[in-house]
Amino acid sequence: MALAGHEVVLVARGAHLDAIRRDGLALHSPEGRRTLRLPAVGAVDAHEWRAGDVAVLAVKGMDTDGVLRPLAAVAPPETPVLCLQNGVANERAALRQFANVYGVHVILPATHLAPGVVVAHSAPTPGGLDLGPYPGGVDETARTLAAGLREAGFASEARADIMRWKYAKLLMNLGNAIQALCGPDADGIDKVDALLRAEATAVLDAAGIDVASPAEDAARRAGLLTIKPVDGTARGGGSTWQSLTRGTGSVEADYLNGEIVLLGRLHGVPTPANELVRRIVNRAARDQARPGALTPDAFLAMVP
């Protein structure tokens, strides 16, 4: 967004914030390396919010409430809030504080392992960020935001049914935890992923939740990404794998697999595999275990 000429203020924490302030934000991509000197603050209430500002939430689900509470105290109530996040609980949480909430369907192969450094693995289009008002419909703000994202190089459409797409992404993200525990290339990981999705599909059917079909999702992704080598950085695993690798102490499994567990309990559908992987990966994060400590077969043997 900044490279496209938009005014951007970053909010970051800890060593990441320190590195951005000291050295700038390093953006590595197949097209080269850039260092962006951008204003960065340590909390949302350290920015002087104005009419016309847009809040982009890019934290994981377990950190959403901690951002929304101080944001609601300083940002104008009409501020558009974009949930550029995985999971389906962030929009509902944001709607308690702000009237104009927009879900974003995130298709974005990126890696963040070192403070101050973000690697985008696709070029020339870094990813897809379709968006729409929560819980549904399309408005002029959504169209304007999508246009701004396209100016920044992303594929972006304003969608009236954005949550159908976010539930489809949720199904894909159920494998994040087992990938983090076993490693992204572990033999047999596809069997675990299929089991997690099968439980989730049964739950979503029981709950009557509409989900974008695999065919729709494949059509949206067709030709969207072009994964290329990025000098000096191998592409590893997804966001949960990255959290374990960085030793952050927490992961967002409660808002991915845990969403399926919650719906299963509400609608009387058993979800033993999703509950097990949720508990194991949370314990691994607390213990700061490294990825690869478990095998897919060992996990399947533990499923009740």
Residue 5 domain-assigned? no
Is 102 domain-assigned?
yes
Find residue 36's DSSP bridge partners: 25
Q: Is residue 264 part of a domain?
A: yes
Q: 218: which residues sit within 8 A by CB, 6+ positions away?
A: none
d(CA 195, CA 139): 38
Find the distance separating the first CA and the last CA of the chain, reported in whole Å. Answer: 47
Type of residue numbered 193:
D
* Structural domain containing residue 58: 10-302
Helical spans, DSSP H, in 110-256: 140-151, 162-173, 176-182, 189-207, 214-221, 239-246
Angle at 108 between CA 105 and CA 113, to 5 degrees: 130
- In whole angstroms, give the CA distance from residue 120 to residue 34: 11
61 in any annotated domain: yes
Asked, for residue 145, whether it belongs to a domain, the answer is yes
Rounded to an integer, what distance in angstroms lies between the CA atom of residue 253 and that of residue 210?
22
Q: Residue 28: name the closest of 130, 128, 95, 109 by CA.
A: 109
Pair 179, 189: CB distance under 8 Å: yes
Structure tokens at 28: 């590595």
pTM above 0.85, yes or no: yes
Residue 98 belongs to some domain of the structure: yes
Note whether residue 3 is domain-resident: no
Domain count, the chain: 1
Left if phi > 0, otherwise alpha if psi is -120 to 50, otherwise beta: which for 114? beta
Half-sphere exposure of 181 (CA within 13 A, CB side): 27
| Planar angle of CA 281, 284, 287, nearest 5 degrees | 155
Local confidence pLDDT in tens for the 304 residues of the chain? 999 999 999 999 999 999 999 999 999 999 999 999 999 999 999 999 999 999 999 999 999 999 999 999 999 999 999 999 999 999 999 999 999 999 999 999 999 999 999 999 999 999 999 999 999 999 999 999 999 999 999 999 999 999 999 999 999 999 999 999 999 999 999 999 999 999 999 999 999 999 999 999 999 999 999 998 898 666 889 999 999 999 999 999 999 999 999 999 999 999 999 999 999 999 999 999 989 889 999 999 999 8
The kind and range of the H/E element at 54 are none
Residue 4 lies in a domain: no
CATH number at residue 225: 3.40.50.720
